[in-house]
């Protein structure tokens, strides 16, 4: 953990702020995962080292299953039996998908160029 001391406006030292070190992500971009509690699966297309959504979004999660903020959060192209959507899920609420099957999300081909051996391969990015 990193403890930082900040000076307050009156020149006195404020209590140290303890910041948790971000953890390494357990899952990788292109990996297919399932939600631990809800019936959906998806492919990871981005990862935040810690929670990076709104407080309103976080508070909307039932308290009994509300995740900690100090863990990786994953952006998924998700699907359930009824539709496809984008999901934002904490690491603690994900498990690997062992089906070996691709997801049926219509945007998967925009981000990924191939599906090989149970894992998606990112498209090359063009930058200048």
Read off the pLDDT of each residue in 4-26 and give the average, rounded to a whole number: 57
Q: Is residue 7 part of a domain?
A: no
Cα distance between residue 90 and residue 34, in whole Å: 11
Per-residue pLDDT reduced to its tens digit, 91-126:
999 999 999 999 999 999 999 999 999 999 999 886
Q: Is residue 14 part of a domain?
A: no
Count of domains forming the chain: 1
5-9, 35-39, 86-90: least confident range:
5-9
Tokens 């930058």 correspond to what residue? 127
Q: Is residue 13 part of a domain?
A: no
Q: Is residue 4 part of a domain?
A: no
User: What's the domain range around 81?
Assistant: 22-122
Kindly report the length of the chain. 128
pLDDT at 64: 86
CATH number of the domain within which 26 lies: 2.30.30.390
Considering the entire predicted model, what is its pTM? Answer: 0.80
Q: Is residue 127 part of a domain?
A: no
Measured over the CA atoms of residue 108, residue 102, residue 124 and residue 48, the dihedral's sign is: positive
Strand ranges for 2-118 from DSSP E: 2-4, 17-19, 32-35, 41-48, 73-79, 84-90, 94-96, 112-116
Q: Is residue 29 part of a domain?
A: yes
Q: Is residue 101 part of a domain?
A: yes
pLDDT at 128: 63
Q: Is residue 16 part of a domain?
A: no
């Amino acid at each position: 953990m990193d403890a930082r001391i900040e000076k307050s406006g009156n020149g006195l030292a404020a209590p140290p702020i303890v910041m948790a070190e971000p953890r390494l992500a357990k899952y990788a971009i292109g990996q297919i995962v399932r939600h631990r509690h809800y019936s959906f699966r998806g492919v990871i297309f981005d990862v935040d080292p810690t929670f990076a959504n709104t407080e309103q979004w976080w508070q909307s999660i039932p308290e009994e299953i509300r995740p900690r903020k100090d863990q990786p959060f994953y952006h998924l192209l998700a699907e359930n039996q009824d539709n496809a959507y984008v999901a934002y899920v904490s690491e603690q609420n994900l498990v690997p998908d062992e089906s070996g099957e691709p997801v049926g999300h219509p945007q998967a081909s925009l981000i990924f160029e191939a599906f090989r051996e149970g894992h998606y391969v990112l498209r090359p990015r063009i930058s200048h």
